Amino acid sequence: MAQKSPIPGEVVNVVEILEKAGFQAYLVGGCVRDLLLGRNPKDWDVTTNARPENIQELFPKTVYENTYGTVSVINEFSNDPTLKNIEVTPYRLESQYSDHRHPDKVAFSETLEEDLKRRDLIINAMAISLSHGAIKDIIDPYGGMADIKDKSIRTVGDPSDRFREDALRMIRAIRLAVELDYTIHNDTFTAIKNHSTLIKNISAERVRDEFTKIIMSPIPKKGIELLHDSGILSHIIPELEKGIGIEQNQAHAYDVWEHLLRSLQHAADKKYPIETRLAALFHDISKPETRKFSRETNQYTFYGHEVLGSRETKKILERLKFPQIIVQKVTKLVRWHMFFSDTETITLSAVRRMIVNVGKDKIWDLINVRICDRIGTGRPKENPYRLRKYKSMIEEALRDPISVSMLKIDGKRIMEVCSVTPGPKIGYILHTLFEEVLNDPNINTQEYLEKRSKELILLPETELKKLGTVGVERKKSEEEKELVKIRSKHWVK
């Protein structure tokens, strides 16, 4: 009996067209796992006994540009990005993987069972048949539903065989463990440790994609720890492991390694974007090289670690083929993460210089990196007075000042319409207009202000000066009100 299920119409349509043409068709892989977990699949995969040429004949728009038989069925009018491209792959058999990346030869199979046997993890080796758009049967030959219940990650068959076939599967197992908060089975994890060196055969782009998913998972700290415990981290980002056992000064409860992982985890807890998470992970990466002990203070110093760290971060991200837009942003955040100064003595101009250094578009990300840095030290308070004060000063520096520049007219235009030369009267008129616009913003039009300027220029200079002085005082008053609002928002003086 068919069960109700949230299978999108675009997916149902692909399955039904294949079945009406006399072929078998099943949902397979990650989308099945996600459906059984009650999650929204990020992509949809269909497997069938139809051959690529059969699939292309059945659908009006397809893409077939690979050696693995996968045909992409294009739904260009779908509003859901996960449904614009549905991958349909014939049942497959695979031979040896000589390069530990791709099968030497791909042969099409006649049965679903043979196709499921070649898959990597048991929770990905399930299929679903549909009836009238709903789930009909769950095909689960290896115990995927039991693994979901037990929250366990296991491979299909011998884990050593699976990882020798495609070494990226080792990182994928770790990635799924942190995305789902599952445990990797002992036999599977032992095989990962035994074959971790094979990850060097995988392209930087494929490693980067899985690493990014780990960083963007709910518990990336666990992911980095698993990468380290398995031996994989030493082959992809060995620089991080230098921080293990590197004691810091009294402000820190943890060594550099634990501090960086806790900083990253806080970024994930706050759902910060990829750039902030990477900066949190790498911000102190060069502390081991810069650490020196000061007998004078009886503490360690790390002078210049942010400068060296930004260079090292750039090297790591470029090695992993991250896009330059991410590389540039993360390295800037690492470079300037030590911006903190004494908020009692720091000037607004110094804050403005910092904004110029890091960029307006990155300044709040920098503040967030600093918050992660603070939590990573073991301090429970993420928003102390000094940081709130700094936030307040940044808002002050970023805001447009309340001034005559807000007017839809300037001194040059006033001189033109009034046919006068430069003089004090121009300033008086500007401030008079400014005071009037503050009272009624609707009159801030060029037409009205030109007309009003012609009236004001006729007034005696003493009277015009009085009106202008009122405008100057009003400007000061409004400016102070805005600053009070900002400071009150951050609970600072």
Query: Which of the four pLDDT bands, split at 50, 70 and 90, describes residue 402?
Result: low
Flag whether pLDDT at 1 surpasses 60.
Answer: no
Task: Determine if residue 444 is left, alpha or beta; phi over 0 gives left, psi from -120 to 50 gives alpha, anything else beta.
Answer: beta
Q: State the pairing for strand pair 152-153/85-90.
A: unpaired
CATH number of the domain located at residue range(s) 239-398 in this protein: 1.10.3210
Say what the pLDDT of residue 3 is. 45
Query: Which of the four pLDDT bands, split at 50, 70 and 90, describes residue 186?
Result: very high
Q: State the pairing for strand pair 183-184/152-153.
A: parallel
Domains 9-143 and 239-398 in one fold? no
Say what the pLDDT of residue 344 is. 67
Query: Which of the four pLDDT bands, split at 50, 70 and 90, describes residue 487?
Result: low
Query: Which of the four pLDDT bands, split at 50, 70 and 90, describes residue 400?
Result: low
- Give the H/E segment covering residue 131: strand 127-131
What's the whole-number mean pLDDT along residues 12-22?
A: 96
Say what the pLDDT of residue 293 is. 75
When mean pLDDT is compared across 174-188, 222-236, 317-331, 414-428, the lowest value belongs to 414-428
Output the CA torsion 18→86→219→363 (10° steps). Answer: -170
> Three-state SS across 60-122?
CCEECCCCCCCEEEECCCCCCHHHCEEEEEECEEECCCCCCCCCCCEEECCCHHHHHHCCCEH
| H-only helix segments in 122-167 | 144-150, 159-165
Does 151-236 carry CATH code 1.10.110.30? yes
Say what the pLDDT of residue 491 is. 67
Contacts of 369 (CB under 8 A, 6+ apart): 267, 276, 279, 280, 283, 333, 337
| Percent of the chain residues past pLDDT 90, beyond the cut | 61
Residue type at 214?
Answer: I
Query: Which of the four pLDDT bands, split at 50, 70 and 90, describes residue 294?
Result: confident
When mean pLDDT is compared across 150-159, 224-233, 238-247, 388-397, the lowest value belongs to 388-397
Q: Which of 143-157, 329-343, 370-384, 406-420 has the highest mean pLDDT?
A: 143-157
Q: What does pLDDT average to over the chain?
A: 88
| H-only helix segments in 125-203 | 144-150, 159-165, 168-180, 186-195
CATH number of the domain located at residue range(s) 9-143 in this protein: 3.30.460.10
CB 398 within 8 A of CB 363: yes
What's the whole-number mean pLDDT along residues 314-342?
A: 92
Contacts of 21 (CB under 8 A, 6+ apart): 50, 54, 58
Query: Which of the four pLDDT bands, split at 50, 70 and 90, describes residue 482?
Result: low
Flag whether pLDDT at 210 surpasses 50.
Answer: yes
DSSP character at residue 3: B
Q: What is the pLDDT of residues 40-51, one digit of tens each?
A: 999 999 999 999
First to last CA, the chain: 68
Distance CA 62, CA 78 (A): 15
- Of 130, 120, 124, whose CA–CA distance to 164 is shortest? 120
- Of 146, 145, 173, whose CA–CA distance to 159 is shortest? 173
Q: Which residue has the tokens 């960086």?
A: 260
Say what the pLDDT of residue 94 is. 67
Say what the pLDDT of residue 279 is. 98
More reliable by pLDDT, 191 or 133: 191
Other beta carbons within 10 Å of 123: 30
What would the two tokens of residue 261 be?
Answer: 């992982």
Domain boundaries, the chain: 9-143, 151-236, 239-398, 405-489
Flag whether pLDDT at 336 surpasses 70.
Answer: yes
Distance CA 284, CA 60 (A): 53
Query: Which of the four pLDDT bands, split at 50, 70 and 90, describes residue 2?
Result: very low
Q: What is the pLDDT of residues 84-125, one digit of tens each?
A: 999 999 998 865 666 556 666 678 899 999 999 989 999 999
Burial readout 315-324 (b: 16 or more C-beta within 10 A, e: otherwise): ebbeebebee
When mean pLDDT is compared across 142-156, 216-230, 455-469, the lowest value belongs to 455-469
Distance CA 125, CA 113 (A): 10
